[in-house]
Amino acid sequence: MKIHEVAKRTRTLGGFAVTPLHIEDSGVAEGQPDLSGLIAAAAHNHGFIITAQMDNGQKKKFRVYHQNARLAQEKFLKHYSGAQVLDVAAESDVAEAIRLDAPQRKIPRDELQDYTDRIKTNRKTKQDKFAPIIHGSNIRAITQDDSGTEWDLDDLAAQITTRPRAILGTNAKMEKSKTEGEIIYDLTLPALSGIVVDEDTGDFVEITTCPGAGACQLFCYARKGGYVMFPASSMSAAQALNFLVNDPEGYTARVNQEINTIKAKTDRAGVQLVVRWHDAGDFFSKQYLDLAYSVAEANPDVKFYAYTKMGDVATGATPDNFVMNFSSGSKRGEEKKVEFHRSQGHTVKQGVTVPKDMFFDLIARKGNSLIKDAKGRTQFASPEDLETFRERLAQRYGVPLDSIITYDQMMATPVGTKPQWNVIVQPGAGDRAANRRDVIDSYLMFH
């Protein structure tokens, strides 16, 4: 067995340089196939980070592969006999820059240069439809002459790595919930995917933020309108994602601090604080889900809720103050997980986007304009039309007719502890059905 250094870029961990070492195992255990080199080593070796004081007094970190920590340390000392080992840690226990097990791929700079050029010159392709959103105003030129334009990726990186001014926010629609005794704040990520910077290496990385997304990719509300029209909106989402995956501890501390500040105000106003985890993005890994749940557990007097397209998340256990909703438009595999869970007699709370053809003929109109009620909500043309819609819902989704109620009926009903209601949520209504445990399905019209 021999040790040699691998010619890779030196990384940093905990502020120290990390020199990669590689153990090449040319021996073969009895009864194993005749493998050698990297293949044999990978079968039984693990990564360890060794922190050492070198003979010149400098402190360094090294990545060493071996069967266990003791053997890794022995081999390291054979290679650096004058060093003093300060610490040996399994690589899985050492914080890397891009964390939370985020689904990712490195973006070569030439690829990103081409993509930013297509954005700035309005030559985006069909393949770019699902690419991370970068607003053209956030892309600045380095040179502009007859030979073409080079776009300043270092400036883009500096923008992305700036910590967001705030993670939690609210809007006019959420402000409406004040009249219902609560106010909703939310946090967001880029929809489908986002670009971050590996703050360890400086590389651009694409993070898949919605790994369960299926048909919803075609009509995603968070990839249109105000989410993409204004440069600050898309950049703040990118900054939040970058903060999250590079420094989850710092991100968590910031969210808790903002919740404490907002809650002090809502307590004085006598209003319940509710946090919606995501109005875009999803729980892209178990580690990220655990982070969200840790925030809920640290703030037991705050209500939390979320929509997800991840079947395991929708069917899993949650903190008492966190309500999860499975959302329409996921991949078929995620839907099957929920269907199986329900077939076993379990309840899965859902946000269901209702096809327009189920209610289009029942909505009150004057010509081509919708007639809205005093609260600015879409309404049915008559009580009979509402009843027709209830019957259609009961037949399509296989739920008891008497379990289907309107949003106003839900608001007039005390919150129960058992799931029993299926609520019609017309455009302009609030989102209270999503954070009540006594509601099973929220039927979202024109969502």
Interval 51-106: pLDDT, tens = 888 888 877 777 777 778 888 888 888 888 888 888 888 755 544 568 888 888 99
Assign 201 to helix, strand or coil: coil
**What 3-state class would DSSP assign to 160?**
helix
The domain total for the chain is 3
Residues 82, 115, single domain; the answer is no
Handedness of CA 392, 220, 123, 108 (dihedral sign): negative
Q: Do 219 and 364 reside in the same domain of the chain?
A: no
Please indicate, yes or no, if residue 160 is contained in any of the structural domains.
yes
Q: Does residue 348 contact residue 336 with C-beta atoms inside 8 Å?
A: no
pLDDT at 26: 30
- What pLDDT is recorded for position 147? 67
- Within-domain flag for 442: yes
| Residue showing tokens 């081999």 | 75
The DSSP call for residue 394 is H
Q: What is the per-residue DSSP string for 45-60?
A: -EEEEEEEE-TTS-EE
Instruction: Answer whether residue 216 is part of any domain.
Output: yes
Q: What are the pLDDT digits (tens) for 273-282?
A: 999 999 889 9
- Please say which residue of 93, 117, 139 terminates a domain: 93
Q: What is the mean pLDDT of residues 295-311?
A: 96
Q: Report which of 105, 283, 302, 131 is spatially closest to residue 207, judged by C-alpha positions.
A: 105
- Which stretch of 98-112, 223-237, 375-389 has the lowest confidence by average pLDDT? 223-237
As given in the structure block, the two tokens for residue 23 are 């153990």
User: Is the CB of residue 422 less than 8 Å from the CB of residue 439?
Assistant: yes
Decide if 76 is inside a domain.
yes
Domain boundary among 69, 93, 117: 93
Query: Residues 30-51: pLDDT tens digits?
Result: 333 332 333 333 334 567 778 8
pLDDT, average across residues 364-368: 88
In terms of domains, do 85 and 107 share one?
A: no
Q: State which of 274, 305, 322 marks the end of a domain.
A: 322
100: left (phi over 0), alpha (psi -120 to 50) or beta: left
Higher pLDDT, 9 or 77: 77
Residues 73 and 128 in one domain: no
52: domain range? 2-93
Question: What is the per-residue pLDDT for 226?
Answer: 65
Domain assignment of residue 27, yes or no: yes
At 444 the pLDDT is 94
Residues 260 and 409 grouped into a single domain: no
The string of pLDDT tens digits covering residues 135-169 is: 888 888 987 666 678 899 999 999 999 999 999 99
Question: Is residue 59 included in any domain, yes or no?
Answer: yes
Do 26 and 105 have their domain in common? no
CA 238 to CA 261: how far, in whole Å? 23
Give the global pTM. 0.75
The reply to whether 333 falls in a domain is no
Closest CA to 359 of 404, 412, 327: 404
Residue, of 49 and 265, whose pLDDT is higher:
265
* Reported confidence tier of residue 377, pLDDT bands at 50, 70, 90: confident
What pLDDT score was predicted for residue 97? 63
Looking at the structure, do residues 101 and 195 belong to the same domain, yes or no?
yes
Is the same domain home to 116 and 193?
Answer: yes
Q: Are residues 432 and 418 in the same domain?
A: yes
Query: Of 246, 282, 249, 288, which is closest to residue 100 (Cα–Cα)?
Result: 288
User: What does DSSP assign to residue 268?
Assistant: H
SS3 content of the chain, % helix, strand, coil (to 5): 40, 25, 35
Among 88-102, 125-139, 392-406, 427-441, the minimum mean pLDDT is found in 88-102
Please state which of the ranges 62-76, 288-302, 432-446 shows the lowest mean pLDDT: 62-76
Please tell me whether residues 268 and 310 are part of one structural domain: yes
Say yes or no: 208 and 308 in one domain: yes
Contact 247, 239 (CB under 8 A): no
- Relative to beta strand 272-277, strand 303-308 is parallel
Note the pLDDT of residue 94.
47
Residue 327 lies in a domain: no
Reply yes or no on whether the pLDDT at 313 is more than 70: yes
Q: Do 440 and 403 belong together in one domain?
A: yes
Residue-wise DSSP of 417-445:
SS--EEEEE-TT--SGGGG-TTEEEEEET
Residue 7 has pLDDT above 70, yes or no: no
